[in-house]
Structure 1
Amino acid sequence: MDRLLLLGAHCDDIAIGCGGTVLQLCRANPGMRVTALVLSGAGTDREAEERMALAALCAKAELDVTVLDLLDGRVPAQWLRAKEALEAVRPWCEPDLILAPSPHDAHQDHRALAKLVPTVFRAHQALGYEILKWDGDLAQPNLYVALPEQVLADKLDILHRHYGSQRGRTWFDDEAFRGLARVRGVQSGERYAEAFHAAKVTLRVGAS
C-alpha cells in the first residue's frame, strides 16, 4: 500500500474510528503517503490536537493534513463546501484505500461526509469506520481488522495524550474504547479488532 486517504467530519473522528488500523498500516508501509481531510475545527485548539494526534498515528508516513472550518453539526447545510473540499483533493490523490465515516452513522455530519465519498472517489476501495456514541447506531460490520494488544494500547495513549478537550466526555474513556474493540474481536475470532462497513470489496490475487 502506497497511498491512504483519511476523512473525518470532526477532529478525533479518524483516531477514534480507525486509529489502530492507521497505526498498523503506517508501521507496515514506511514512507506511505497519507492524506487527511477533516471538515471542521480549523483555527481552534481542536485543530492543534488533531494535527498532533495524526502525526503520532502516521509517524512513519508522509503526512498531509487539511482541517477546514465548517460549522460543527451543520455539514449537511454546507454540502457544497464539503463537496468542493473532496473535489480539491481528488486531482492529486489516488488512494489505495479510503477510511471514512459509515453511511448509516446517526450523526448528520458523519453521514453527510460518508455519502459524499463515492460521488468523488467512485472506483476506490472505501471502508466506513464506526464511532460509539449515545445514539446507539452501531450496525453489524462486514470487515474487521485485528488489533494486537500493544496497538490498541498505543491508540488509547494517543487519544488521551492529544485530545485533552474531550477528556470530560462521558464516552471518552478506555472502558468504552476497549469494550467496543473487545466485542469486535470476539466477532472476528481475535482478542481486539476495529470494524468497518464495506459496500464493495475487490480482491486481487497474484501479480497485476
Structure 2
Amino acid sequence: LAAFCPGADLRLTVHKLPDGRLPVHWDEAKAAVEELRERTDPDLVLAPRTDDAHQDHRGLAKLVPTAFRDHLVLGYEIVKWDGDLGRMAAYQPLSPEIAEEKVRLLQEHYASQRHRPWYDREAFLGLARIRGIECHARYAEAFAVTKLTLDLGE
C-alpha cells in the first residue's frame, strides 16, 4: 500500500475473515467497516463495484456506502476470469508513465495473484487503454459511481 500511496498517512487493519466467505461473516465485516468509519473521515473512498462477480468484493461494495453515507465512493474494477467488467461512469486519465508504474507495482507487490493467467502486464494495460479510449486519453482508470452529490453553488 505504501508503494502505491507514497507520502500518505497509512494505517492498516487486517481482519481474520476467511477468503471467499464474506457472506457468512456479514456481521463481522459490517462491524469492521463501521469501526473504520468511526475512526476516519476521508475525502474519497475506493471500494469494489457493487456488481463485482466475486462474493467478497461484492459484499464489501455493498457495506461501504452504508457506513460512508456522506462520502464520495468510487467502485473500482478488477480484471479477472469472471468477465464482469461493466460500463463505467467516472474516469481518471493516466499518463503512459503512470500506467506502466501501476502495472509494475501490481506485479511487484501482489505476489499472491501472479499464478493467475489474467494477472499480467497486457491485461492491465489493455484495460487501461480501453478505458482511455472511452475518455479520450491514452490510458485511464474507470470507476462505478452509485451516488454523487454535486455542490455547484447557488
Pairwise same-fold verdict (TM > 0.5): yes
2:149 corresponding residue in structure 1: 202
Equivalences for 1:94-113 in 2 at 5 Å? 94-113=41-60
Aligned partner letter, 1:91:
E
User: What is the CA–CA distance in structure 2 between the aligned matches of 1:135 and 1:163, rounded to whole Å?
Assistant: 19
Alignment length (residue pairs): 153
Q: TM-score, normalised by structure 1?
A: 0.71
Equivalences for 1:150-161 in 2 at 5 Å? 150-161=97-108
User: What is the CA–CA distance in structure 2 between the aligned matches of 1:195 and 1:114, rounded to whole Å?
Assistant: 16
1:85 corresponding residue in structure 2: 32
2:18 corresponding residue in structure 1: 71
What SS is found at the alignment partner of 2:12?
A: strand
1:133 corresponding residue in structure 2: 80
Instruction: Please report the RMSD computed on the Cα atoms of aligned residues, expressed in angstroms.
Output: 1.2
Q: TM-score, normalised by structure 2?
A: 0.94
What SS is found at the alignment partner of 1:59?
A: coil
* 1:39-95 Cα deviation digits (max 9, x unpaired): xxxxxxxxxxxxxxx010111111111122211110011001100101111122111
1:134 CA drift (Å): 1.2
**1:193 is aligned to 2:144:** no
Structure 1 regions of 5+ residues with no counterpart? 1-53
Aligned partner letter, 1:119:
T
1:165 corresponding residue in structure 2: 112
1:125 CA drift (Å): 0.9
1:181 corresponding residue in structure 2: 128
Aligned partner letter, 2:25:
Q
* 1:16-49 Cα deviation digits (max 9, x unpaired): xxxxxxxxxxxxxxxxxxxxxxxxxxxxxxxxxx
Among the aligned pairs, what percent are the same residue?
Answer: 55
2:65 corresponding residue in structure 1: 118
